[in-house]
Structure 1
Amino acid sequence: MEKILIPLHENEVAPRFDLASEALVVSVTRETSVMGQIHERVVVLDTPSGEAMYQLVKSENVMTIVCAGMDKEIFEFLKRKGIDVIDDVCGPADAVLEAYLMGKLAPGQILH
């Protein structure tokens, strides 16, 4: 199973990973090489912070984060922990997730 996290602001990718008050956590079980079963849920954080978001990443065993931006220090920390970060991504969370699942999402991509 693969887990993806997208920080949210009003159903869009939040401008900052560490300032988002909620996150979309997506679990994907691939049954074929293209698609599989997808389970989505939104998690609301008590206090937006890089530490709170990292604790969510850790507790959910997230392997990939898709975000617009984050501090370089947080980015490097996550990479050292083996978490893939696709950053500088903007757009509605559903369009971003769809592009990711289709293997068509890259850093710097704007989807609107």
Structure 2
Amino acid sequence: MAEPRKSKVLIPLHDDDVAPRFDLATEVWIGVLGEDGAWHDERTLVLPQASAENLCNIILHEAVGTLVCGGIEEEFYQYLRWKRVEVFDSVLGPRVKAATALAKGELKPGDILYELG
């Protein structure tokens, strides 16, 4: 399994979870995964409206290297990959668990991180 790049990470949010759909998120979490495996410069941005195009612009403007998201349309997935953004798609669960798994190099596209109980 590939080690994630030590870079800026963006996770679209719905409450405290990874947003189930990239194009419907109105809030994003951004953090920098340091060489030490810890998160730095964490912040949350509230967006004026849900828009896949706006999210792509934020990703490029912020020089994000890794995106962790739920469902994403193929067009936006391919565009971001073309722009050399690593995309972990179809991820469901709490943002904290997704970020922790990413930092450990254990996150995979399609991971469901909710506790079953």
TM-score, normalising length: structure 2:
0.88
**Misfit runs of 4+, over 4 Å:** none
Matches within 5 A, 1:4-83: 4-31=9-36, 35-83=37-85
- Larger relative strand fraction: 1
**Distance of 2:85 and 2:70 partners within structure 1:** 16
State the one-letter code of the partner of 1:76. Answer: Q
Number of paired residues?
A: 109
Runs (5+) with no aligned partner, structure 1: none
Amino-acid identity (%): 39
Which runs of structure 2 are paired with 1:86-97 in the superposition (5 Å)? 86-97=88-99
Which amino acid counterpart does residue 16 of structure 1 have in structure 2?
A: R
Distance 1:22 1:40 in 2: 13
Residue segments in structure 2 that go unaligned for 5+ positions in a row: 1-5
Contact 1:88 1:109 in 2 (8 A): yes
Deviations 1:15-64 (A, max 9, x none): 11111001000112213xxx245221101111110111011101110001
* Partners of 2:31 and 2:39 within 8 A in 1: no
Query: Which of 3, 6, 12 is matched with 2:8 structurally?
Result: 3
* Kept in 2: contact 1:30–1:37 (CA 8 A): no
Q: Give the SS at the match of 1:96.
A: helix
Kept in 2, the 8 Å contact 1:22–1:42? The answer is yes
Whether contact under 8 Å (1:27, 1:39) holds in the other structure is yes
TM-score, normalised with respect to structure 1: 0.92
